[in-house]
Structure 1
Amino acid sequence: MLNISVLSISRKLGRSQSPMVNSTSVHWNITQLPSINERVDEISRTVLVIVTILCFIFFVYFITVLLNVFFSSPHMRENARYVLFAHMLINDTLYLALGIFLLLTALYIIYFPMPLCCIILTLAASSFRVTPYNLAVMSLERYIAICFPLRHLEFCTAGRAKLAIAMVWVIGFAPSIADLTVIIYSSGYIFLSVNVLCDRTMLIISPLQNIIRSFIHILSFTIVALIIIFTYIKVMLVARKFGSGGSSAFKAGRTVMLHAVQLMLCMISFISSLTEAYFPKYITFMLISNFLIFTCLPRFLSPVIYGIRDEAFSKYIRKLYSVKF
């Protein structure tokens, strides 16, 4: 059949080669094309994975520098603003580490015991939800500092900041714990004996769970967005009274605006699944690029917001590391 089709194609194209030569050539191309595509896909995947890991290493190094400054400075440890910022850095590092782990297991099809995967997925999902909550708390802290400066030290203490952190983690863990309870109740002893591929859909065994999860995400991001918009408007109204672009109110307004950008990038991450569905031929490229753009980029903004712009951090970094920004 292959020789007949090749002969007819050769006649249509007016080629003078014998059918056997054309048959051999076409057969070689057919057998070699998949291996070439696989090789290109493997090279692309390896390069993108290396880039992702290098970005993560640089991120961890910068985070380590900032956390070292925070924990070595008693003044910062007693400041609610810096306590919340340090929590954001730790949470972002945890989420990125878990995200890279899940990405690598998906790319290289690695199976793990189901209890371990459920723990990892629970931590990753909870950490993802904690990010916008922490942004809302940080924006409220800036709002109180600018709009109620005389009450700031009373309301925004390090102890209350740690209490707020505990509350956002409880809220962030609640949906994942509910999903995990459903999984354990439904699977029984199989939960302890099955090896699975860690995937975010593994904890979903009922369409109702998807509906509830979507509702929680929409409600959470809507509330956080309203908080950020409210605090930004209030802070900028105060800033206009001072009329100076270098005032603390203007700086606080820019910080809240950057929090809004972070929130927007986190919300855009929900379309990553759509891009993977519409481009199945480039699933490897889409998985890694979505991870870099929608997962890493919003968290890379965190150290930039405070680490480079904040005068206290710049001062201590220059002192400890002799780095000039």
Structure 2
Amino acid sequence: MSSINNVSIPSTDVDLNVMDLQRTLEAHRPIKIGIISVLGVMITLGNIAVVMVITSAVSGWSKNSRYFLLSLTGADSAFGLLIMPLNLCVSFMKEYNGGPDPFCHVVAFFNATIYSTCMYTLATISLERYIAVFYPLKYSSVLTRRRALFLIAFAWVFPPVLLVPISFPAGIIEVRFSRASLVCNPLYSSNVSYSLTLTCFIFFPCSAIMTFCNLRLWIAAKRQRLKLRRHSWGGGYRPKVALRVLLPVMTVYYTCWTPCMVIMLYNAISGSGVPEWIEFIAVWLPTSNGFLNCIFYFWINRSFRRKFHLVLQRLCLGLCPGSDSDSSCVNSVESSVVPGWYGNHSLHERFSSVSSTCTLLTLMPPQTNKCEPEPA
């Protein structure tokens, strides 16, 4: 009898703890849904504004740069238009059971695919920027249009191929719906080797490329600052461009993606979970990168802001088509946005790059330089 009591008491305590945990998760669910919804709206609106601008020509950006940025915008938009609605649908419409769930496997596959595509796209943008700055005369031959499109296609095609086992309910890895993060997540501890393979093929190579390219750009900008100072060319300004673009990009990238990867590795190796809010923040933090990219890759660029103002003015004219004075004003703004030297297509392709990186390395004095600095 005593042995029965010794067994029954702990089981009762466990049941009570589980019930308390479930009540806590249910109480916090409206707050989490509100956070996810607000984040989804911000990402969607930000990327709609970006698409409105970069679908037309922006001074200082080559066609290749626009292709890469459109790819990044598509990946970021998928966070708000696909990932969030799918996971919220699971949270609203069904209660997750203990067995395999085909719909949750499909949702987890889309989650992992968009996350991976976004990382690959960020890596390709850093690589394109590196080539544009360090090999400006060879840019058009090294990174042809076909090669640029191949890199973009690779960023969108390779992740689904690598992650397709997640989509099968009876596949090599299990998937569970987490009430803590409101996400269909793979159970990484169910296949440790596959989970480690994903990090080796996705997170680590993308992080290495981004770190190498942006660190080289930052060092080059720092050297250029010293050179301009020695020649009294007022070089104190240009390093601010590098600090305002390169350091925030890398800081935001690692801040948003590292916690998610750490939890993934921790779950795969130890088989244990983490506290509720830590899991929620770590899982949804990468999606916030989709909104912050709009700031660091677009809004910080003066040419982009000018073009955005022009697009807004055109929209206002569309709503009020009878204003001739506004039309002449728009035309004058448009003529001032695109400098005349950009009419040379070959020079434009060689010297244009993401975030106007020609301002980061300038081999000519400011008074004869064609790459004008772009203040915030």
- Written as runs of structure 1 = structure 2, the 5 A alignment for 1:110-189 is 110=94, 115-180=102-167, 183=170
Offset, 1:287: 5.4
Contact 1:262/1:298, CA 8 A, preserved across alignment? yes
Q: Which whole-Å CA distance do the structure 1 matches of 2:210 and 2:83 have between them?
A: 26
Q: Which whole-Å CA distance do the structure 2 matches of 1:219 and 1:254 have between them?
A: 30
Contact 1:105/1:198, CA 8 A, preserved across alignment? no
Per-residue Cα deviation, 1:3-61 (whole angstroms, up to 9, x for no partner) = xxxxxxxxxxxxxxxxxxxxxxxxxxxxxxx99x95x8656422331232123112211
- The residue that corresponds to 1:308 in the other structure is 299
Amino acid at match of 2:31: V
Q: Which whole-Å CA distance do the structure 2 matches of 1:108 and 1:123 have between them?
A: 18
Aligned pair count? 271
Contact 2:108/2:184, CA 8 A, preserved across alignment? yes
Amino acid at match of 1:300: F
Matched position secondary structure for 1:131: helix
Amino acid at match of 1:229: T
- Written as runs of structure 1 = structure 2, the 5 A alignment for 1:198-277 is 199-201=184-186, 207=190, 209-243=191-225, 244-247=235-238, 251=241, 255-264=245-254, 265-272=256-263, 277=273
TM-score, with length taken from structure 1? 0.68
Amino acid at match of 2:248: L
Contact 1:78/1:158, CA 8 A, preserved across alignment? no
Q: Which moved more, 1:260-269 or 1:310-319?
A: 260-269
- Does residue 1:80 correspond to 2:64, yes or no? yes
Amino acid at match of 2:36: T
Residues 106, 123 of structure 1: alpha-carbon distance in 2 compared, 3 angstrom cutoff: closer
Residues 272, 185 of structure 1: alpha-carbon distance in 2 compared, 3 angstrom cutoff: closer
Residues 270, 180 of structure 1: alpha-carbon distance in 2 compared, 3 angstrom cutoff: same
Q: Which whole-Å CA distance do the structure 1 matches of 2:86 and 2:105 have between them?
A: 12
1:295 maps to which of 266, 272, 286 = 286
Amino acid at match of 1:242: Q
Matched position secondary structure for 1:183: coil
Q: Which whole-Å CA distance do the structure 1 matches of 2:241 and 2:61 have between them?
A: 22
Q: Which whole-Å CA distance do the structure 1 matches of 2:122 and 2:184 have between them?
A: 27
Q: Alignment identity in percent?
A: 16
Q: Which whole-Å CA distance do the structure 1 matches of 2:167 and 2:129 have between them?
A: 36
Offset, 1:128: 1.2
Bigger radius of gyration, 1 or 2? 1
Unaligned runs of 5+ in 2: 1-18, 174-181, 226-234, 317-375
Q: Which whole-Å CA distance do the structure 2 matches of 1:180 and 1:52 have between them?
A: 24
Offset, 1:180: 4.1
- The residue that corresponds to 2:230 in the other structure is none
Matched position secondary structure for 1:150: coil
Q: Which whole-Å CA distance do the structure 2 matches of 1:254 and 1:92 have between them?
A: 21
Contact 1:308/1:314, CA 8 A, preserved across alignment? yes
Amino acid at match of 1:92: D
Q: Relative CO higher for 1 or 2, CA cutoff 8 Å, sep ≥ 6?
A: 2
TM-score, with length taken from structure 2? 0.60
RMSD between aligned residues: 3.9
- The residue that corresponds to 2:7 in the other structure is none
Contact 1:266/1:295, CA 8 A, preserved across alignment? yes
Q: Which whole-Å CA distance do the structure 2 matches of 1:45 and 1:182 have between them?
A: 26
Q: Which whole-Å CA distance do the structure 2 matches of 1:307 and 1:267 have between them?
A: 23
- The residue that corresponds to 1:46 in the other structure is 30
Contact 1:70/1:86, CA 8 A, preserved across alignment? yes
Q: Which whole-Å CA distance do the structure 2 matches of 1:95 and 1:67 have between them?
A: 15
Q: Which moved more, 1:158-167 or 1:77-86?
A: 77-86
Q: Which moved more, 1:54-63 or 1:233-242?
A: 233-242
Residues 58, 132 of structure 1: alpha-carbon distance in 2 compared, 3 angstrom cutoff: closer
Matched position secondary structure for 1:200: strand
Q: Which whole-Å CA distance do the structure 2 matches of 1:245 and 1:82 have between them?
A: 30
Amino acid at match of 1:226: A
Offset, 1:175: 1.9
Residues 130, 309 of structure 1: alpha-carbon distance in 2 compared, 3 angstrom cutoff: same
Amino acid at match of 1:69: V
Contact 1:105/1:111, CA 8 A, preserved across alignment? no
Amino acid at match of 1:210: V
Matched position secondary structure for 1:199: strand
Q: Which whole-Å CA distance do the structure 1 matches of 2:290 and 2:244 have between them?
A: 17
